[in-house]
Amino acid sequence: MFSVAQKREISEKVQQILRETNHPELPKEEIQFALHVKGATPMSWADIRNNGAVPNPSVNPFNEMMTEQQVDDEITQSS
């Protein structure tokens, strides 16, 4: 559902949101978490974990292609 770059960006933002809570039970180092996102169809989903837990992410060529298409569309729309 998301490209590797999008998953890493989401992970960084989740990490930041969790850190901003200043909850005393959170570790000082990287916070471990797992986020499951359900898409519009049963075949559309994503599992996102903290970046440190996924040093070598698997790549889905379709998701990577969709991200490139979104960037191209945004550039076209802003021109």
Query: d(Cα 32, Cα 12) in Å, to the nearest integer?
Result: 12
pLDDT of the residue at 70: 66
pLDDT tens, 27-73? Answer: 999 999 999 999 999 999 999 999 999 888 888 888 888 776 665 66
Confidence band (pLDDT; 50, 70, 90) for 23?
A: very high
| φ, ψ at 23 (rounded to 5°) | -70, 130
Q: Is the model more confident about 74 or about 58?
A: 58
Two tokens, residue 73? 């569309």
Instruction: Give residue 79's pLDDT band: very low, low, confident or very high (50, 70, 90).
Output: low
Q: How far apart are CA 18 and CA 29, in angstroms?
A: 12
Domain range enclosing 48 = 4-78
Which structure tokens are listed for 58? 């698997």
Burial class (CB within 10 angstroms; exposed 0-12, middle 13-18, buried 19+) of 3: buried
| Domains: count for the chain | 1
